Amino acid sequence: MKHPLDGTRDPIAGADPGWRSAPGTQVTDRIQLGDFLRRRREALRPEDLGLAPRARRRTPGLRRDEVAVMANMSAAYYESLEQARGRQPSVSILASLANALRLTPDERHHLYLLAGQAPPTPAEAPDYVDPGLSYTLEALAATTPALITDDLANVVAQNPLNTALFGAFADRPGYEKNLTWHWFTSAHWRGVLRSASPQEEEATSLSYVADLRATVTQRGHDSAAATLVSDLCEASSEFAQMWHQHRVSTLRCSTKSVYSQHVGRLDLDCVVLASPQSRQRLLMLQPVTGTQTMDRLNRLQLLIRGGQSTS
């Protein structure tokens, strides 16, 4: 059987059809996985890994059995992966292979995708703020209320306009800094972030839940994510009902009307910018075109600069 993309013979015709669920990817990704492993193996020098160099090596780089030993697996199984014959590697096997082959973060991510597994997301320190998002947050300070959250919606940084509208969140303890928690447990918070209709409010709720569902899987059901879900299910029947629908999507924000006691109504479009370098996201509230929001934000900015309390 010829491979439909490159004309090579399919080495796994009739093999485990459940290895990848996406149509058309099973054969392609097995072949690509094997090729990727072989290329990375051949690119390594034995002396870089503390192995004695050998004068006579028939192939460049490491031998398959050397990679297998470092990855704590049988040489036969590793060989089957390179030859696109092996059973689907588990997450633990992929982690061992990534370490043995000294893969970069981007190469590690690629390896997991080729193997049909969700790439792990690296852990971040509690006080970590993504530098790229932080720079953008400061650049927006004069015109746009914005904040940075981690992937569980805990606020880690805000600019002055955002703080003037919503109060300081980043230094609050526990769930007091979590936007999803506030949305499902605080009537006051929904009053501040007013939706145009009940249908839009429901869509916002579903977006929060679907995004959290995806995040829980990406984090490997770690304790922080699992505890947040459990506590939300207990605190909010609305969240619990939506959680069991098992919807999955990235976070989407609709237009919101925010009421400031200092400058009045602000009509804001929410834009989410995800960092490619971390788990964090920047949420920007941009003035809706054709409204008085920009002028009112400018007035609010003057109040901040003048030192007038806006909390």
Residue 235's identity, in one-letter code, is A
Question: Per-residue confidence at 10, pLDDT binned at 50, 70, 90?
Answer: very low
The model's pLDDT over 89-125, given as tens digits with 9 standing for 90+, comes to: 998 999 999 999 999 888 998 999 999 887 877 777 7
The average pLDDT across 199-218 equals 91
Residue position matching structure tokens 């059809």: 17
Is a pLDDT exceeding 50 seen at residue 22?
A: no
pLDDT of residue 164: 94
Strand order from edge to edge, sheet including 256-260? 155-158, 146-149, 281-287, 264-274, 256-260, 193-194
> Residue 230 corresponds to which tokens in the numbers above?
């459990």
pLDDT of residue 74: 95
pLDDT of residue 217: 83
The model's pLDDT over 270-279, given as tens digits with 9 standing for 90+, comes to: 999 999 888 8
Is a pLDDT exceeding 90 seen at residue 72?
A: yes
pLDDT of residue 311: 54
pLDDT of residue 225: 93
Question: Per-residue confidence at 193, pLDDT binned at 50, 70, 90?
Answer: confident
CATH for the stretch 131-305: 3.30.450.180
Q: Where are the domains of the chain?
A: 26-114, 131-305
Spatial contact of 272 and 251, defined as CB atoms under 8 Å apart: yes
pLDDT of residue 75: 95
Is a pLDDT exceeding 50 seen at residue 196?
A: yes
The mean-pLDDT minimum among 31-35, 110-114, 251-255 falls in: 251-255
The domain 26-114 belongs to what CATH superfamily?
A: lambda repressor-like DNA-binding domains (1.10.260.40)
